[in-house]
């Protein structure tokens, strides 16, 4: 399950929250208007997040990638937005475009 703390960590200034629950979150980026679905999958020994993406509301979601945490999934979405807004030119280090220090 996605914890209440994790749900509250989603930046509503950056995303339109379409649906939020304990097993899935659906967001729309305010920058690119792309749609995102984040699903939690829990196995007996670890938990994983599946990130789904679509460009328009009438398209179907496609699997974008996996993430080890909700925070990492949001970082991937931010990096994807930076890539799109950069004219689809490769961004060398995705963390540098969103100000995250490792």
Look at residue 102 and tell me if it is in a domain: no
Look at residue 71 and tell me whether its pLDDT is greater than 50.
yes
Whether residue 66 is contained in a domain is answered as: yes
User: Structurally, how many domains does the chain consist of?
Assistant: 1
Which is nearest to 24 in space by CA: 61, 56, 55, 59?
61
DSSP per-residue string spanning 3-38:
-HHHHHTS-TTTEEEEEE-SSEEEEEETTT--EEEE
- pLDDT of amino acid 93: 54
Q: What mean pLDDT is predicted for residues 61-72?
A: 94
Residue 82, domain extent: 4-97
> 36-45: per-residue pLDDT in tens?
999 999 988 8
Nearest to 60 by CA among 71, 52, 70: 52
The C-alpha angle with vertex 36 and arms to 17 and 47, in degrees rounded to 5, equals 100
Q: What pTM, to 2 d.p., does this model score?
A: 0.81
């Amino acid at each position: 399950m996605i914890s209440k703390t994790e749900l509250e960590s989603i930046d509503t200034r950056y995303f339109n929250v379409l649906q939020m629950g304990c097993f899935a979150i659906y967001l729309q980026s305010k920058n690119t208007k792309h749609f995102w679905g984040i699903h939690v999958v829990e196995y007996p020994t670890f938990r994983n997040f599946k990130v789904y993406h679509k460009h328009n509301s009438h398209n179907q979601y496609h699997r974008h990638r996996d993430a080890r945490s909700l925070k990492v999934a949001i970082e991937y979405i931010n990096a994807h937005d930076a890539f799109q807004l950069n004219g689809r030119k490769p961004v060398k280090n995705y963390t540098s475009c969103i100000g995250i220090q490792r």
